[in-house]
């Protein structure tokens, strides 16, 4: 956890859950695992507020608690990590993806689950159906069954997963803390989310879900569709109490990764080739482990059969495309064997490394110009070079090349390796080799990205604060307008109220809207860079371990 | 018959005679003679006399002493250079020889001093002398603009000294390189586009998007943008910069000996490629390009709230 990450986490927490949660969250991030008493003591926040903030964090899976390290009877300790909190930044992307994949219903399901951390299937379905119905015309309504079928589709494709089930918690209770009376008054202690317990988490939902979905349907018969949100507080049982669902971020990330690879292929080669890669990735989607370096081998025959007929690719042409993909220096696709008309794999990790490298190159290119980028790429290719060699290969005059190299060096994008011929490190008898190491550079840029996002959020908050009065005023006027309209006021009255906002004020509001939109979209764009760099860094971690 | 006669006439007591005979022998064998050859030719000559004669010739600069695998070799010195050096003293000859050895790479005056063990002032005097006689010339090296290297007057300086086609008067012609770089890219791009539009099978498309370095070279020559003659190697250096720009890739294929543009049975193929990603998200924000990024802190002199770059970007 770096300072930049903690700062960004704090800002995200403040935006989504308020200042108290921010205080508790950042305190936990800075100080590691702590018990309730220490948190209260060190933050100086009243007990009930701290408890509530911890509840919020636990509800969203951003905080885990475990029985004390000092053996049975010691107070429960709380721990939180940056990873989960930083996901908040990516919420828009998750929601957008689910919309493109599963339409409005999917979008709302994911949105609800993201906003509430975790929910039972029945309450999710109800809330989503209610919200959809509200947006429909009079006389139409959303059927629960449709929503629940979308829900089960999301589970089938692993976009949703069960929160680690109750049994785990009782395990913990019985083995570790038989003597303690559980966690201190924690209302959501049932959802103690130990990170991942995959085996049953993925298998069980498949089977039991469909059955439960049906049961729930029958139980919902005749219920008023226009129920407000409070409907989920109803005491009727739907047969899925205690089974909570959460968004499977990992699955979304795999999807993002695949999309990134497909678009990279489309850029580098062409559309048709990218469709072939898309087919390959889709075929191996379920079979390949999330951290695998490449997909399961697929024979050309299989690929041919799975290609959608609309592409109109004949078998020999497919073979040609596959050969081209294998020949490409980016090596997105590799050949694993000759059987079955050739066996192919998608090199996931290599693709990620290539994408990350392209990201680094693009940063250098945009920031220092294309000539510095040339030097940077040159060093990436040739590993170690002396200054003279850099000048010769890159065909850049000595003076400029020196300038660029030193600038890159001072920004830590390029490293310098000294190799002395004699032990005294005399400059005249020392080789100075420039080099680029991709992984540390990617790490550094990732930190820069965190800082950038934090800056953007900070600026957005500043902009809103600056015109707070104006915003409040416009909101008030809109409310008045709405109430007047509802009571059937005359048009003159309405225009009179409307004119309470003067023209310059309107202009100011408009420009504020533009600014906020710009900052928002920039945040999302930077998050794409963050995603690429994070996936690359984590992929190298699995390689070495 | 002549020779035999001459041989017989040699008077072993006259050193001049012996010297002449050795010179004659050297002329017969332009590649040089060993001690053994002289011994065979003049069997009655005392080793001491022989040594004396050879030493004299050496000191007069008429013989060259060389070393090869079988031992020492004596060779007649170029009559031309000896005639040039007429009227010069030993030091001058020494310096001349050092410069001659350096060939077309040239030699720096400090290196001459190390090799000759003469004081620098002396060397400067000699160099000036030689230059005025048009025996040597000074060439400015591109590696270090203030460094002058000396070489024989009639030599064409090496590429490492002049920098090849990319330099004029020790200045790197970066505009020229840039123009060539762009032209090469244009050529590769148009080739790739033509291949894409041909609507042939993917393999044929890819293969026809490749251009050999020879093709590029011909294209550039026909464009006539270059005043100097560019070699294939020069063009390949330019094409390599395109690779480092991420705009091209290269493959090497085996070619039949004698095919146009093949070197050692290999042919280098280049083709233009597209980048795999658009500019990344980070650099689309002002922070990604900010020169004072590291000094920026909330509440500080430079802060995101008061950032002028950010304001400019938002107003844009």
Q: What is the DSSP string of A202-256?
A: HHHHHHHHHHHHHHHHHHTTT--TT--GGGGG-----S-TT-EEEE-HHHHHHHH
A132 in any annotated domain: no
CA A55 from centre of chain = 22
| Structural domain count of chain A | 4
Q: What is the DSSP string of A94-140?
A: HHHHHHHHHHHHHHHHHHHHHHHS-EEHHHHHHHHHHHHHHHSPTT-
Task: Pick the last residue of a domain from A346, A361, A394.
Answer: A346
Predicted local distance difference test score (pLDDT) of residue B78: 63
Q: Is the Cβ pair A451, B287 closer than 8 Å?
A: yes
**Same domain assignment for residues A465 and A491:** yes
Beta carbons within 10 angstroms of residue A411's beta carbon = 17
Nearest Cα to A124, choosing from A135, A113, A136, A138?
A113
The strand pair at A160-162 and A244-247 is best described as: antiparallel
DSSP B263: B
As a dihedral over the C-alpha atoms of residue B98, residue B100, residue B102, residue B103, rounded to 10 degrees, the angle is 180
A323: nearest CA in chain B?
B203
Closest of A430, A438, A432 to residue A405, by C-alpha: A432
Res. A459: pLDDT tops 50: yes
**A405 in the same domain as A329:** no
Facing B202 at nearest CB: one of A320, A396, A455 = A320
| A176 is a domain residue | no
- Give me the CATH code for the B82-163 domain, please: 1.10.10.10
Rounded to a whole number, what is the distance in Å from the CA of A303 to chain B's nearest CA? 17
Minimal Cα distance from A528: which residue of B? Answer: B281
Task: Give the dihedral of Cα atoms A257, A443, B242, B178; nearest 10 deg.
Answer: 130
**Looking at the domain assignment, is residue A245 inside a domain?**
no
Three-state secondary structure call for residue A335: strand
Q: Which residue has the tokens 């039949």?
A: B256
CA-based nearest residue in chain B for residue A366: B283
Q: What DSSP character marks residue B146?
A: T
pLDDT digits (tens, 9 = 90+) for A119-170: 888 788 878 888 888 877 766 777 777 888 888 888 888 888 877 754 444 3
B261: left (phi over 0), alpha (psi -120 to 50) or beta: left
Residues A306 and A377 in one domain: no
Is B305 in contact with A459 (Cβ distance < 8 A)?
yes
Identical fold, B82-163 and B174-272 = yes
Q: Are A202 and A283 in contact (CB under 8 A)?
A: no
The pLDDT assigned to A85 comes to 92
Please count the other Cβ atoms lying within 10 Å of the Cβ belonging to residue B67: 8
Burial class (CB in 10 A: 0-12, 13-18, 19+), A224: exposed
> How far off is chain B from A473, nearest CA to CA, in Å?
23
Q: Is A480 found in the same domain as A422?
A: no
Please report residues of B whose CB lies closer than 8 A to that of A362: 275, 277, 279-280, 283
Identify the pLDDT of residue B5: 47
Give A-chain residues touching B243 at CB under 8 angstroms.
381
Q: Which residues of chain B have pLDDT under 70?
A: 1-13, 61, 77-88, 143-145, 163, 169-170
Do residues A288 and A318 both lie within one domain? yes
**Beta-carbon contacts of residue A267 (< 8 Å; ≥ 6 apart):** B274, B275, B276, B277, B278
CB A432 within 8 A of CB A412: no
A24, A66: one domain: yes
Question: What are the chain A neighbours of B196 within 8 Å (beta carbons)?
Answer: 270
| CA nearest neighbour of A414 among A376, A452, A371 | A376
| A526/B282 touch (CB, cutoff 8 Å), yes or no | yes
pLDDT above 50: residue A189: no
| Cβ separation A367–B289 shorter than 8 A | yes
Model pLDDT, residue A386: 92
User: Could you say which of A373, A407, A436 is where a domain stops?
Assistant: A436
Residue A188 has pLDDT above 80, yes or no: no
Nearest chain A Cα distance for residue B61, angstroms: 39
Residue-level pLDDT at A254: 92
Identify whether A443 is part of a domain. no
Look up the CATH architecture of domain B15-77: Orthogonal Bundle (1.10)
* Nearest chain A CA: its distance from B30 CA (Å): 42
Q: Name B171's Cβ contacts closer than 8 Å, sequence gap at least 6.
A: none
Q: Are residue A293 and residue A341 in the same domain, yes or no?
A: yes
Regarding whether A465 and A393 lie in a shared domain, the answer is: no
**Between the CA of residue A21 and those of A62, A148, A338, B130, B197, what are the distances in Å?**
11, 33, 58, 87, 59
pLDDT at B225: 80
Q: What is the pLDDT of residue A228?
A: 38
What domain range includes position A423?
A: 351-436
Closest C-alpha among A439, A435, A437, A429 to residue A385: A435
| B274, B307, B314 member nearest A515 (Cβ) | B314
The Cα A284–Cα A336 span in angstroms is: 15
Q: Residue A90 carries which DSSP code?
A: G
Rounded to a whole number of angstroms, the distance from the CA of A111 to the nearest CA of chain B is 24
| CA distance linking residue A461 with residue A14, whole number of Å | 11
Strand partners, B253: B267
**Mean pLDDT value across residues A39-60:** 91
Give the distance from residue B218's alpha carbon to the nearest chain A alpha carbon, in angstroms.
21
CATH 1.10.10 is held by the domain B174-272: yes
Whether residues B314 and A518 touch (CB distance < 8 A) is answered with yes
Closest-approach residue (CA) in chain B for A454: B304
The 10s digit of each residue's pLDDT in B99-130 is 888 888 888 888 888 888 888 888 888 888 88
Q: Which residues of B touch A264 (CB under 8 A)?
A: 276-277
| A130 neighbors A258 (Cβ within 8 angstroms) | no
> In this structure, are A26 and A66 located in the same domain?
yes
Per-residue burial over B241-277, b = 16 or more CB atoms within 10 Å of its CB, e = otherwise: bbbbbbbbbbeeeebeeeeebbeeeebbbbbbbebbb
CATH for A13: 1.10.10.10
Q: Is residue A489 part of a domain?
A: yes
Residue B279 DSSP one-character state? S
Phi, psi values for residue A397, rounded to 5°: -55, 145
Q: How far is CA A418 from the centre of its chain?
A: 40
Smallest CA–CA distance from A524 into chain B, residue: B281
**Coil, strand, or helix at residue B76?**
strand
Are the C-beta atoms of B116 and B123 separated by less than 8 Å? yes
Chain B positions contacting chain A at CB under 8 Å are: 166, 172, 174, 177, 181, 196, 201-203, 206, 237-238, 240-241, 243-246, 249, 273-285, 287-289, 293, 296, 298, 303-305, 307, 310, 313-314
| Residue ranges per structural domain of chain B | 15-77, 82-163, 174-272, 284-315
Q: How far is CA A408 from CA A353, A394, A395, A404, B42, in A?
A: 21, 15, 17, 6, 73
Chain B contact set for A374 (CB, 8 A): 241, 244-245
pLDDT at A225: 38
Give the contacts of B272 (CB within 8 A, at least 6 positions apart).
B185, B188, B189, B191, B192, B209, B242, B247, B248
The pLDDT tens digits for A311-363 are 788 888 898 899 989 988 888 999 888 887 889 999 999 999 999 999 999 99
Residue with tokens 């100011």: A508
Q: Report chain A residues whose CB lies below 8 A from the CB of B282.
A: 359, 363, 445, 448-449, 452, 525-526, 529
Question: Quick one: CA dihedral B97, B100, B101, B106, positive or negative?
Answer: positive
Read off the pLDDT of each residue in A508-522 and give the average, rounded to a whole number.
92
pLDDT at residue A237, as a whole number: 58
Q: Which residues of B touch A378 (CB under 8 A)?
A: 244
Please list every residue in chain A whose beta carbon sits closer than 8 Å to the beta carbon of residue B294.
Answer: none
ipTM (interface predicted TM): 0.79
- The 10 Å CB-count burial string (b at 16+, else e) for A512-521 is beebeebbee
Q: Which two tokens stand for residue A272?
A: 């048709």
Identity of the residue in A317, A367, A398 whose CB atom sits nearest the CB atom of B201: A317
Tell me if A366 and B166 make a contact (CB, 8 A cut-off). Answer: no
Q: Are residues A420 and A356 in the same domain?
A: yes
pLDDT tens digit sequence for B27-74: 777 777 777 777 787 777 778 888 888 888 777 767 777 777 777 777
Instruction: List the single residue in A with minimal CA-CA distance to B290.
Output: A367
Closest residue in A to B275 (Cα–Cα): A268
With tokens 């309107």, the residue in question is: A506
**Under 8 Å CB-to-CB from A240, ≥6 apart: which residues?**
A120, A121, A122, A212, A216
pLDDT for A262-314, tens place per residue? Answer: 999 999 888 889 999 999 999 888 788 888 888 888 889 888 988 888 878 88
Instruction: Quote the percentage of chain A above a pLDDT of 90.
Output: 41
**Shortest distance, CA B137 to any CA of chain A (angstroms):** 26
Could you tell me if residue A34 is inside a domain? Answer: yes
DSSP A163: P
Q: Is residue A213 part of a domain?
A: no
Chains A and B form CB pairs within 8 A to the count of 144
pLDDT at B2: 46
A408, A436, A464 - which closes a domain: A436
pLDDT for position A457: 94
User: Would residue A76 count as lying in a domain?
Assistant: yes
pLDDT bucket at A96, cuts 50 / 70 / 90: very high
**B280, two tokens:** 């990344």
How does residue A87 score in pLDDT terms, banded at 50, 70 and 90?
very high
Output the average pLDDT for chain A: 82
**CB contact (8 A) between residue A455 and residue B296:** yes
C-alpha to C-alpha distance for A406 and A416, rounded to whole angstroms:
10
């Amino acid at each position: 956890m770096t300072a930049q990450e903690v700062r960004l986490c704090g800002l995200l927490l403040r935006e989504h859950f308020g200042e108290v949660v921010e205080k508790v969250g950042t305190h936990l991030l800075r100080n590691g695992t702590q018990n309730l008493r220490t948190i209260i003591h060190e933050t100086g926040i009243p007990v009930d507020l701290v408890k509530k903030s911890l509840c919020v964090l636990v509800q969203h899976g951003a905080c885990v608690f475990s029985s004390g390290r000092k053996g049975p009877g010691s107070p429960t300790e709380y721990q939180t990590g940056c990873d989960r909190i930083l996901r908040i930044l990516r919420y828009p992307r998750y929601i957008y993806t689910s919309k493109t994949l599963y339409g409005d219903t999917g979008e709302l399901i994911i949105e609800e689950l993201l906003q509430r951390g975790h929910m039972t299937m029945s309450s999710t379905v109800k809330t989503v159906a209610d919200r959809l119905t509200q947006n429909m015309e009079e006389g139409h309504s959303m059927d629960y069954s449709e929503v629940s079928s979308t829900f089960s589709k999301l589970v089938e494709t692993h976009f949703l997963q069960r929160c680690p089930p109750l049994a785990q918690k009782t395990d913990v209770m019985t083995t570790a803390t038989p003597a303690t009376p559980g966690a201190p008054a924690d209302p959501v202690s049932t959802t103690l989310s130990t990170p991942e317990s995959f085996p049953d988490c993925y298998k069980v939902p498949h089977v039991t879900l469909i059955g439960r979905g049906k049961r729930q349907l029958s139980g919902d018969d005749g219920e008023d569709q226009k129920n407000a949100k409070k409907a989920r507080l109803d005491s009727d049982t739907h047969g899925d109490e205690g089974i909570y669902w959460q968004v499977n971020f990992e699955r979304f990330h795999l999807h993002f990764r695949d999309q990134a690879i497909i678009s990279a292929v489309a850029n580098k080669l062409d559309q048709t080739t990218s469709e072939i890669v898309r087919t390959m990735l889709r075929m191996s989607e379920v079979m390949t482990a999330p951290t695998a370096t490449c997909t399961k081998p697929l024979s050309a025959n299989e690929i041919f059969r799975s290609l959608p007929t609309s592409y109109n690719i004949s078998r020999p042409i497919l073979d040609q495309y596959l050969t081209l993909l294998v020949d490409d220096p980016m090596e997105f696709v590799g050949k694993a064997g000759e059987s079955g008309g050739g066996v192919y794999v998608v090199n996931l990790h290599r693709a990620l490394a290539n994408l990350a490298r392209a990201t680094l190159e693009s940063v250098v290119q945009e920031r220092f110009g294309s000539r510095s980028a040339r030097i940077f790429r040159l060093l990436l290719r040739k590993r170690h070079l002396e200054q003279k060699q850099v000048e010769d290969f890159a065909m850049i005059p000595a003076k400029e090349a020196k300038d660029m190299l030193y600038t890159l060096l001072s920004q830590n994008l390029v490293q310098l390796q000294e190799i002395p011929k004699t032990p005294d490190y005399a400059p005249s008898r020392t080789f100075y080799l420039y080099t680029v190491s991709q992984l540390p550079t990617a790490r550094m840029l990732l930190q820069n990205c965190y800082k950038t996002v934090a800056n953007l959020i900070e600026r957005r908050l500043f902009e809103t604060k600056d015109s707070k009065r104006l915003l409040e005023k416009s909101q008030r006027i809109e409310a008045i307008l709405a109430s007047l309209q509802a009571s059937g006021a005359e048009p003159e009255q309405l225009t009179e109220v409307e004119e309470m906002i003067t023209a310059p004020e309107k202009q100011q509001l408009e420009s504020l809207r533009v600014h906020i939109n710009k900052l928002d979209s920039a945040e999302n764009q930077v998050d794409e860079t963050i995603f690429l760099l994070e996936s690359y860094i984590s992929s190298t971690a699995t390689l070495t371990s | 018959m002549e020779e035999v006669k001459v041989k017989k006439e040699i008077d072993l007591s006259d050193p001049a005679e012996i010297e002449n005979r050795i010179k004659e022998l050297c002329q017969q064998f332009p590649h040089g003679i060993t001690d053994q050859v002289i011994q065979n030719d003049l069997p009655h000559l005392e080793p001491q006399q022989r040594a004396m004669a050879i030493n004299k010739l050496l000191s007069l600069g008429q013989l060259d002493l060389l070393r090869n695998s079988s031992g020492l070799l004596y060779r007649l010195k170029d009559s031309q250079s000896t005639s040039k050096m007429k009227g010069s003293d030993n030091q001058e000859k020494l310096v001349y020889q050092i410069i001659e050895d350096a060939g077309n790479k040239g030699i720096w005056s400090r290196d001459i001093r190390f090799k000759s063990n003469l004081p620098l002032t002396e060397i400067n005097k000699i160099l000036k002398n030689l230059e005025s006689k048009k025996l040597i010339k000074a060439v400015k090296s591109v590696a270090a603009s203030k460094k002058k290297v000396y070489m024989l007057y009639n030599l064409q300086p090496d590429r490492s000294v002049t920098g090849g086609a990319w330099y004029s008067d020790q200045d790197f012609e970066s505009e020229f390189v840039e123009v060539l770089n762009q032209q090469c890219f244009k050529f590769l791009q148009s080739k790739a586009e033509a291949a894409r539009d041909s609507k042939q099978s993917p393999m044929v498309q890819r293969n026809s998007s490749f251009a050999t370095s020879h093709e590029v070279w011909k294209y550039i020559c026909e464009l006539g943008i270059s005043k100097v003659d560019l070699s294939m190697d020069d063009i390949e250096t330019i094409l390599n910069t395109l690779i480092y720009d991420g705009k091209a890739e290269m493959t090497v294929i085996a070619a039949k000996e004698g095919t146009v543009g093949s070197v050692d049975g290999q042919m280098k193929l280049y083709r233009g490629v597209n980048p795999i990603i658009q500019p990344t998200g980070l650099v689309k924000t002002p922070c990604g390009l900010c020169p004072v990024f590291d000094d920026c802190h909330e509440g500080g002199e430079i802060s995101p709230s008061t950032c002028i770059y950010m304001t400019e970007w938002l107003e844009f």
